[in-house]
């Protein structure tokens, strides 16, 4: 069997009209540059004729592969399944609704190769979606995510991306965290870039998201930030907090002891006494949390065989050892 060089991963949820057109566009765009590709469609519990359309394509072209979910698990799960099954050295994700343009695929790959990047993120610089419900929240989300994660991109929400295989395979996706992929890849040590891409209006079918997504994005952001900054050193963050709160508590306590023992004044009615006790308690709590965190982080890394490092290339070793 010939080696597959390119895997295109496409989540599909009720996109029956779009599927045949998308297939044609992908073929036109990449056949000439790379014939050894596979197109993996993940049918995410569609209730229309999407699966039938996909099967019809597979009849004609065995490079089309189908992962059929038992029910709707969401776009993040669909992408994760695609990464698990894909074999290509280079992986591409895109939407199944024709809003991304397959013409951009060769350009994204070229950029990744020329600049030796591990992930190139599409930037829908002329996004064709409603302003208030989609573009405005997304603009704010992009600013916030860039600022908090330190990976500065204009368009986290763009599904059109190219990845090197090992980065894509290393991604651990949970909940609805596909929009944080560049930040998660950055945690894995990936070099991330971006490229302006085309964006088209949705012609068939409906968008599956609305404004309600905003709050969930913020909660996911907290998780990602924690994972990126503290997951291997929880005691350092919680211990520091414990030191600060506990330390202030002890200082206040000493001051009160001075008043009581040296100046011989009563302290029973002083609010400061309660503050001191509260702060010392908090300090102990933070410390314990940090230590539990350290233990959890060990279980986490060992049970999932997750390394605390990522190797780009190791030379001179037996290839079986990995
Ligand atoms: N999608 C999916 N499962 C879902 C929701 C969406 O597989 O639960 C797919 C959908 O079919 C499309 C892509 O994810 O291919 C992006 O969805 P959509 O176009 O609705 O999002 P928008 O472009 O409006 O952000
Ligand atoms: Mg769309």
Q: What is the pLDDT of residues 153-206, one digit of tens each?
A: 999 999 999 999 999 998 988 888 899 999 999 988 899 999 999 999 999 998
Residue 155 near ligand 1, beta carbon < 6 Å: no
In the CATH scheme, what is the homologous superfamily, with its name and number, of domain 6-229? Spore Coat Polysaccharide Biosynthesis Protein SpsA; Chain A (3.90.550.10)
Q: Which ligand is nearest to the CA of 75?
A: 1
Residue 210, SS3 per DSSP = coil
Residue 96 near ligand 1, beta carbon < 6 Å: yes
**What is the number of the ligand 1 atom nearest to the C-alpha of 44?**
7
**What is the number of the ligand 1 atom nearest to the C-alpha of 13?**
11
Q: pLDDT tens, 240-291?
A: 999 999 999 999 999 999 999 999 999 988 999 999 999 999 999 999 999 9
Ligand 1 probe mutation, 8, 10, 12, 13, most atoms within 8 A of CB: 13
Closest to 87 measured CA to CA, from 184, 9, 23, 29: 9
Question: Domain extents for the chain?
Answer: 6-229, 234-303
d(CA 49, CA 88): 28
**What is the number of the ligand 1 atom nearest to the C-alpha of 129?**
24
How many CB atoms within 10 Å of residue 171? 20
d(CA 107, CA 237): 42
Please name every residue paired with 124 in a beta bridge, in sequence order, or none if there are none: 197
Please name every residue paired with 213 in a beta bridge, in sequence order, or none if there are none: none
Extract the tokens encoding 48: 């229309």
Tell me the whole-structure pTM to 2 decimals: 0.84
d(CA 321, CA 56): 42
pLDDT at 321 over 60: no
Ligand 1: centre distance to CA 216 (Å): 16
Ligand 2: centre distance to CA 48 (Å): 17
């Amino acid at each position: 069997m010939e080696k597959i060089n390119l895997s295109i991963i496409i989540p599909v949820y009720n996109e029956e009209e779009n599927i045949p057109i998308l297939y044609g566009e992908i073929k036109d765009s990449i056949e000439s540059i790379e014939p050894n590709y596979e197109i993996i469609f993940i049918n995410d519990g569609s209730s229309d004729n999407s699966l039938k359309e996909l099967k019809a394509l597979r009849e004609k072209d065995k490079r089309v592969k189908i992962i059929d979910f038992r029910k709707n698990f969401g776009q993040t799960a669909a992408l994760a399944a695609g990464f698990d099954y894909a074999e290509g050295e280079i992986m591409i994700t895109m939407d199944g609704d024709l809003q991304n343009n397959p013409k951009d695929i060769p350009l994204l790959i070229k950029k990744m190769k020329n600049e030796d990047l591990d992930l190139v993120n599409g930037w829908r610089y002329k996004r064709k979606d409603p302003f208030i419900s989609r573009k405005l929240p997304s603009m704010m989300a992009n600013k916030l995510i860039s600022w908090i994660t330190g990976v500065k991109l204009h368009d986290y929400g763009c599904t059109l991306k190219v990845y090197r295989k090992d980065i894509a395979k290393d991604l651990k996706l949970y909940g609805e965290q596909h929009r944080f992929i560049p930040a998660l890849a950055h945690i894995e040590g990936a070099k991330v870039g971006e490229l302006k891409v085309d964006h088209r209006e949705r012609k068939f079918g409906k968008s599956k998201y609305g404004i309600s997504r905003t709050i969930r994005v913020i909660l996911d952001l907290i998780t990602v930030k924690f994972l990126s900054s503290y997951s291997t050193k929880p005691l350092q963050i919680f211990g520091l907090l414990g030191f600060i709160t506990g330390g202030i508590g002890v200082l206040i306590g000493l001051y009160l002891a001075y008043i009581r023992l040296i100046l011989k004044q009563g302290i029973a009615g002083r609010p400061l006494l309660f503050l001191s006790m509260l702060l010392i308690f908090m300090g102990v709590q933070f410390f314990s949390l940090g230590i539990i965190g350290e233990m959890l982080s060990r279980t986490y890394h060992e049970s999932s065989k997750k390394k605390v490092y990522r190797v780009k290339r190791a030379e001179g070793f037996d290839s079986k050892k990995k």
